[in-house]
Structure 1
């Protein structure tokens, strides 16, 4: 098998495993099960996964489960015990221990904190603290990206596939920050129909980039909201941007989709320290 064909085969294995994880968060995600999904020996599968994604398999599963749980805590009224089982924790106690270790708050405290009024000011304290919105001139940016269709909070699966492809092709060192582009309003478009892209920004495109879409984000004036905290709080950030800031700003939004720039990674950053710039182009 040629080298490029071999890389493509390994990329497909990673994609298949991420898809299985996201679709079976309440099920058996043991090393043996996922090695079978990848069609690889259990003795080598974990090394392949960690080398291609930069994250141990158990840490990735825990992060994905708890990230999805954090969204449900803020966006539903489901009981904590119900959310625990939904994401693979047999008891509320085991879920609470894992969640507090990851987020620094018990699930109930996280829910209460996330639903409280949020102060949009340049401060660093607090799980959901955010900075003020600034208007900036942004240059044109070029991305290599993968398309996604489905709930925006599942875009992490596509980012996982993207990282694995960049690593396998030796491009990860050239990639700038990661970015997500969102084309639809989740308030009016069914979750399963939402369109988005997960991408990495490049200063100079590599000569060979088969398998990726090339996207160009236009230059212009942007309203930029810096969000610091768990990704589950981004929904509130968007509500503030469109519901409070834009109507009172005297500005008009351009006819282009919003995008997020991710300045660090949940694979090696505590949820309260995650930093995202929400970028809205202005007319």
Structure 2
């Protein structure tokens, strides 16, 4: 079952790469790529990056640049023409990006005896500029984590929306906790969660959406009147989650998500569903030292 599932994910990403190869110079909407991969748009970017080793946009930029390098060495077209084909509005912008990738200027690259590799190289995707083929090289890696499937029950909760970089969500939790304390509701809180709606590698930091959440005991009564701006009464999504324990600094969250999506999921026999990812905070950073922090990193999987 696990081998079949892994093969399924490789085949899905292969279909996406075929779509990219056929549309290198055209817009590639997220929804269309996610549909091609038969994955939720919520999780497509993380699955793609975990398996391919880079984002779709990074693949597209690299393919265009490698195609430009091939064009420089295989014909008499001008640098300006090649730059425009690669999506750059000026030869100067193209030259800067080209040198950053190849460590040579376009003119130096055209005259060099041997083609230098594009940097950074990516071991999971192979592009042949002479044919336009983009191929995934399946790469099995040890994910080095213990993953447990947990059934999470629906729970009433207060959620405070944070918009911006994920590393700044601590302020939302502090505001939420402070408001609960002022209302005398501390004893009604039975869990602390974070709901992340976007992949920080694919969405601009200023546009990232995150909910700082406090799960409440059943029957908890909120004070009369409107809630503060950005705060709402909601329900924690129920269902199955694949959870990995992160011990220590919150800076390890992104790597844990990356390994869950890129290495554990394709080998697991599980399928992600459309619910957002979740962080389940098992202790409070105000009460324990950083190395004592314990957080469950959870991705939703189908029942």
TM-score by length of 1: 0.53
1:140 equivalent among 151, 154, 172: 154
Distance 1:267 1:208 in 2: 25
**Structure number with bigger Rg:** 2
Q: Does 1:225 align with 2:244?
A: yes
Offset from partner CA, 1:136-182 (integer Å, 9 cap, x none): 22211221111110011100010110111000000011111211101
State the match for 1:173 in structure 2: 187
SS in 2 for 1:173: helix
Give the count of matched residue pairs: 157
CA RMSD of aligned residues (A): 1.8
SS at match of 1:280: strand
1:198/1:205 Cα in 2 relative to 1: closer, same or farther (>3 Å)? farther
Preserved CA contact (<8 Å) 2:143 2:259: no
**SS of residue matched to 1:166:** helix
Match of 1:192 in 2: 206
264 and 168 in structure 1: CA distance in 2 versus 1, 3 angstrom threshold: same
Answering whether residue 275 of structure 2 is matched by residue 260 of structure 1, we say: no
Alignment of 1:213 onto 2:232: yes
Deviates more, 1:209-218 or 1:267-276: 209-218
Matched, 1:157 2:171: yes
Show the counterpart of 2:144: 120
Match for residue 182 of structure 1? 196
Matching residue of 2:78: none
SS in 2 for 1:162: helix
Greater displacement, 163-172 / 217-226: 217-226
Cα distance per residue 1:220-240 (max 9 Å; x no partner): 221111111111111111111
Matched-pair contact (CA < 8 Å) for 2:278–2:299: yes
Paired with 1:199 and 1:222, the residues of 2 have a C-alpha distance of 17
Alignment partner, residue 271 of structure 1: 290
SS in 1 for 2:267: helix
Could you tell me which runs of 5 or more consecutive residues in structure 1 were left unpaired when the two chains were aligned: 1-116, 122-131
How far apart are the structure 1 equivalents of 2:148 and 2:171?
Answer: 30
Q: CA separation in 1, counterparts of 2:266 and 2:187? A: 41
Normalization by structure 2: what TM-score?
Answer: 0.49
Q: 1:118 to 1:244 in 2, by over 3 A?
A: closer
Distance in 1 (CA, whole Å) between partners of 2:245 and 2:196 is 17
Q: Secondary structure at the match of 1:260?
A: strand
The offset of 1:120, in angstroms, is 3.0
- Between the aligned partners of 2:206 and 2:232, the Cα distance in structure 1 is 21
SS across alignment from 1:161: helix
> Is it true that 1:202 corresponds to 2:216 in the alignment?
yes
Q: Deviation string for 1:50-103 (max 9, x for gaps)?
A: xxxxxxxxxxxxxxxxxxxxxxxxxxxxxxxxxxxxxxxxxxxxxxxxxxxxxx
Aligned counterparts of 2:273 and 2:284: Cα–Cα separation in 1: 29
